[in-house]
């Protein structure tokens, strides 16, 4: 099999996801403020450089767009589903915000607290992602698909903590900014990136 890192197009079967219950917590993460835009991610006047590499052992992208890792083999269709969910949840946010959404889904796939450990199993789990049907008309671009590829193989990460398993928009759910470091029930607050707060299990 041939290692490829290139844009690919796949037939669009769009699945959707609404706002997910969220949970998280990592002390060293630089947080992107809610009013930051894609070109100016700052927090307290500091430049935010959140994206880092954490390569997955043995991960590679095949010529058909599938991705093999030591823990899971992602089909091109599953890569597309992840891109659709990413766009539905954080399409208007900065790159860091989009990366974090996919990371949470990957974390859930690896977690003992969620099953089955498949993209569809996580995305369609009852009571987790709402309004899944809303993403059915979304068509990920080559750039979106390549970003998801990079996240899966570990070229782009922002959370860097497998225990971060939830996120939510606290302005919509509770009326306070995502930067408010408040736990969500038993779930400890981790960080925020624009419109989403992230929490631990």
Does domain 51-200 match CATH 1.10.8.640? no
Looking at the chain, how many residues does it have?
A: 201
Q: Are 166 and 69 in contact (CB under 8 A)?
A: no
pLDDT in tens, the chain (201 residues): 434 444 433 343 333 334 344 333 333 333 444 444 444 433 322 234 689 998 888 899 999 989 999 999 999 999 999 999 999 999 899 999 999 999 999 999 999 999 888 999 998 888 787 776 777 688 999 999 999 999 999 999 999 999 999 998 898 888 988 888 889 889 999 999 999 999 998
Under DSSP, is residue 158 helix (H, G, I), strand (E, B) or coil? coil
Of residues 57, 49, 43, 159, the one with CA closest to residue 98:
159
Of residues 57, 52, 59, the one with CA closest to residue 3:
59
């Amino acid at each position: 099999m041939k290692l490829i890192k290139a844009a690919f197009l796949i037939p669009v079967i769009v699945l959707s996801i609404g706002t997910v219950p969220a949970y998280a917590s990592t002390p060293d993460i630089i947080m992107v403020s809610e009013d930051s835009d894609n070109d100016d991610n700052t927090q307290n006047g500091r430049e935010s450089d959140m994206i880092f590499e954490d390569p997955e052992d043995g991960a590679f992208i095949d010529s058909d767009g599938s991705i093999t890792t030591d823990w899971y083999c992602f089909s091109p269709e599953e890569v597309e589903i992840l891109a659709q969910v990413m766009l539905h949840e954080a399409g208007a946010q900065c790159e860091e915000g989009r990366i974090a959404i996919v990371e949470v889904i990957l974390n859930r796939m690896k977690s003992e607290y969620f099953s089955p450990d498949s993209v569809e199993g996580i995305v369609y789990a009852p009571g987790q992602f709402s309004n899944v049907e809303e993403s059915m008309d979304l068509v990920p671009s080559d750039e979106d698909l390549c970003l998801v590829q990079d996240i899966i193989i570990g070229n782009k990460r922002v959370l860097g903590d497998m225990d971060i398993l939830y996120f939510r928009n606290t302005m919509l759910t509770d009326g306070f900014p995502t930067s408010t470091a408040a736990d969500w029930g038993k779930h400890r607050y981790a960080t925020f990136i624009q419109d989403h707060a992230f929490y631990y299990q």
